[in-house]
Amino acid sequence: MKGVILAGGLGTRLAPCTNVTNKHLLPVYNKPMIYYPIQTLVDAGVTDILIICGPEFSGSFLNLLRSGKEFGVNFSFEVQDEPLGIADGMRLAEEFVDGEKFAAILGDNIYEDNFRPVFEKFMNSDEGAHLFLKEVQDAERFGVAEVSGDKIVGIEEKPSQPKSNLAVTGLYLLDANAFEHIRNLKPSERGQLEITDVNNKYVESSNLGYTKLTGFWSDAGTHESLLQASILIRDKLAQ
């Protein structure tokens, strides 16, 4: 399975720190933020990884990550010219994916769980997509999944009155149909192509699985969550 890391965007919630660098290059405890999603993919058995970043700091990503030899992987790079949404960035991976199932992860998402068994099961299944859900107290900040039994029956993006406390975290297992779904998307009210709309296409076809996370997860996209992620990593390393 190939992996895609989405590391574009302006990171405005972390200003002024992000006035001079991309948020995915900021430190989370003792490593740059993007090291953590890279390690998540590596631990799951992924060795070919595409990094999608914005034009402003693309050289910084290349200088930091280089070929991928340090991680035992091969890196490729694509530039998302404008921050027009997660799905917009994901569409740049179509040639890289080359018709296969793939994993996509947001560059600011940090996980404790090891996903290798889930990745392997997905590759050998008929599922079109698989999501990773986490119970949270501030569900209105995220895409929120409504679950009935073993199925996701709907996903709302940042709802003011969430139907559950299950946040859709920033790791997605998808088949190549995702790119056809993206081509048919219309921009949201935010002017972006939303990954939630892609996921709901799989809900409509009853072809979407999910796993509930047991370990910690952070999106590290705000000052508070960035601090909390650093504390969690520090405490984990001290064990």
pLDDT digits (tens, 9 = 90+) for 22-46: 999 999 999 999 999 999 999 999 9
What is the average pLDDT across 53-70? 94
The residue among 60, 177, 72 whose CA lies nearest residue 107 is: 60
Model pTM? 0.95
CATH for 2-238?
Answer: 3.90.550.10
Question: Is 238 a residue whose pLDDT tops 80?
Answer: no
Give the per-residue pLDDT at 9.
84
pLDDT digits (tens, 9 = 90+) for 93-133: 999 999 999 999 999 999 999 999 999 999 999 999 999 99
For the chain, what is the mean pLDDT? Answer: 94
The residue among 70, 75, 71, 30 whose CA lies nearest residue 53 is: 75
Distant-in-sequence contacts of 117-124, Cβ < 8 A, 24+ apart: 118/44, 118/173, 118/211, 119/1, 119/44, 119/45, 119/46, 119/173, 120/45, 122/173, 122/209, 123/1
pLDDT digits (tens, 9 = 90+) for 172-214: 999 999 999 999 999 998 889 999 999 999 999 999 999 999 9
Question: Is 237 a residue whose pLDDT tops 80?
Answer: no
Give the per-residue pLDDT at 236.
84
* Position 171, amino acid: L
pLDDT digits (tens, 9 = 90+) for 160-172: 999 999 999 999 9
User: Cis bond leading into 117, ω under 30°?
Assistant: no
CB 145 within 8 A of CB 164: yes
